[in-house]
Amino acid sequence: MDIKGNILMERYELGRLLGQGTFAKVYYARNLTTGQSVAIKVIDKEKVLRIGLINQIKREISIMKLVRHPNVLQLYEVMATKTKIYFALEYAKGGELFDKLAKGKLKEQTAHRYFHQLINAVDFCHSRGVYHRDLKPENLLLDENENLKVSDFGLSALAESKHQDGLLHTTCGTPAYVAPEVITRRGYDGDKADVWSCGVILYVLLAGYLPFHEPNLVQLYRKIGKSEFKFPNWFQAEVRKLILRILDPNPVNRITILKIKEHPWFRNDKFSKQPCSNRASGSGTDDEENQDLMAPPYMNAFDIISLSPGFDLTTLFEEARLKKEARLTIWQPASVIRSKLAEIGKRLGMKVSKREAGLLKLDAMQEGRKGFLSIDAEIFEFTPSFHLVEVKKCNGDTLEYQKVLNDGLRPGLEDISWTLQGAEQDQQVHEPEQQGVLQ
């Protein structure tokens, strides 16, 4: 049995029910080893397989592994039996931001703080090629220190989901928060659609109600399509200007996240007197944050365990031969690895850009069979001189990615790497009888 009494897999003590849906229940729990509070999401595997939602579960797992950020709800591990899937998630003691709004509008300083954290989290997700597509106060949680946590990535899309036109085409989201171009079903940029949702959220934080609200769905979509709304009289001039630029119905003219961060209201010193940190601790200087952004993510025990094929739960959901990532273990400092990857990328005629947290992006300069090839190479730290590098296709044709991997990256890194795992491996797929662990 996976649960004996109220103990899950001899690891977690289950407590009260926090919420439930059609296919899952969420419980408060305590880690028996560390005493840490967590939320355990219990998914009925048979139901999701029968209804055909297994792709959504797969996507949620892979995306939550990608987006580790202080303002994104953290996935600690995944466990599974033949009948159940268990997510061990960060426990957000403060509940949903929606519950705060049920009491009315927020003070401008408080709204600014939450919006600041939201934009930083969404910007980070986009840098990983992840588009949330269902941003709303119900999916924004608060920890015990009132720090915002973006959650529920079940409707999210990866950059590789784009069609040949470079756009997403799946219509999804909550009507009152969805961008007009999503409604028209002609294709949309995931980043621009998320920005629109952030603008609706900012309006709701400051007003206490939605900018677009109609009982008739056709009328609601008409107002969204024209961005037809009014400001309450207490909205200040600067925030009005920002919201108007975010809620521009033409996605081509809509403000970008970079420009939002440069906007006077977003950068207002008046709101910065109280810490508006992206950290779970709620403190830290800019220098410390910049240092953290440059440092590769550190791999914990669950990450290391998950590298073993015997504990990798992705085999429950997909065939190993279909994986689009490869992993290398390297006995070199992160700076050496970055330089080597940049050198290889330039030799391959690809644009190399450095991002935060050990991530490098390699982008093809010429369009391929399925758009422009884009590859992420992310460095994870075991020790200061021992790292794992995960190489993953984000966009473009898989065969073109394999050619770059096998003819460029692999031989280019061969002199400093130990092993390469992943895309080229042909492992047998077995379902564990009792449990597995994945970070």
Report phi then psi at 311, rounded to 5. -115, 5
**pLDDT over threshold 50, residue 196:** yes
Q: What is the pLDDT of residue 46?
A: 85
Rounded CA-CA distance 340/377 in Å is: 11
Q: Where are the alpha helices (DSSP H) in 91-161?
A: 97-101, 108-127
Tell me: the pLDDT tens digits for 22-39?
778 999 999 999 999 999
Among residues 77, 97, 73, which one has the least CA distance to residue 85?
77
pTM: 0.66
Residue 434 has pLDDT above 70, yes or no: no
For residue 351, the Cα-to-chain-centroid distance in whole angstroms is 24
pLDDT at 177 (0 to 100): 94
- Integer angstrom CA distances of residue 46 from 23, 97, 144, 174, 286: 9, 32, 35, 27, 48
Listed range (122-131, 198-207, 266-275, 286-295) with the worst mean pLDDT? 286-295
Determine if residue 41 is labeled as part of a ligand binding site. Answer: yes
Each residue of 9-21: pLDDT tens digit? 889 999 999 888 7
- The first and second tokens of residue 361, run together, are 């992006």
The DSSP string of 147-180 is -EEE---TT-EEGGG--TTS-B----S-GGG--H
- CATH number of 95-284, picked from 3.20.20.140, 2.80.10.50, 1.10.510.10, 3.40.710.10: 1.10.510.10
Q: How many CB atoms lie under 10 A from the CB of residue 272?
A: 13
The overall average pLDDT reported for the chain is 81
- Architecture of domain 324-422 in CATH? 2-Layer Sandwich (3.30)
Candidates 44, 123, 134, 152; catalytic one = 134
Is pLDDT of 291 > 50? no
Chain position carrying tokens 């999503």: 182
Q: How confident is the model at residue 281 (pLDDT cuts 50, 70, 90)?
A: very low
| Domain spans in the chain, listed from the N-terminal domain onward | 3-90, 95-284, 324-422
Q: Is 3-90's fold the same as 95-284's? A: no
**CA-based nearest residue to 33, from 65, 3, 7:** 7
Question: Which of 131-140, 186-195, 218-227, 385-394 is least confident?
Answer: 385-394
Tokens 């096998």 belong to which residue?
406
Instruction: Tell me, yes or no, if 134 is annotated catalytic.
Output: yes
Indicate the pLDDT class of residue 195, thresholds 50, 70 and 90.
Answer: very high
* pLDDT tens by residue, 304-350: 555 544 444 444 444 443 456 788 888 788 888 888 898 999 899 99
pLDDT at 301: 52
Cα distances from 434 to residues 76, 82, 85, 216, 310, in angstroms, run 19, 7, 11, 49, 12
Q: Residue written as tokens 């797969």? A: 58
Using alpha carbons, select from 97, 177, 167, 170 the residue that is nearest to residue 135: 177
pLDDT score at 360: 86
First-residue to last-residue Cα distance in the chain? 22
Please determine, for residue 393, whether its predicted confidence score (pLDDT) is greater than 70.
Answer: yes
Give the model confidence (pLDDT) of 221-235 as tens digits: 999 999 999 999 999
Is the domain spanning 3-90 CATH 3.40.50.11810? The answer is no
Identity at 207, one-letter amino acid code: A
Q: What is the pLDDT of residues 139-164, one digit of tens each?
A: 999 999 999 999 988 888 777 677 77
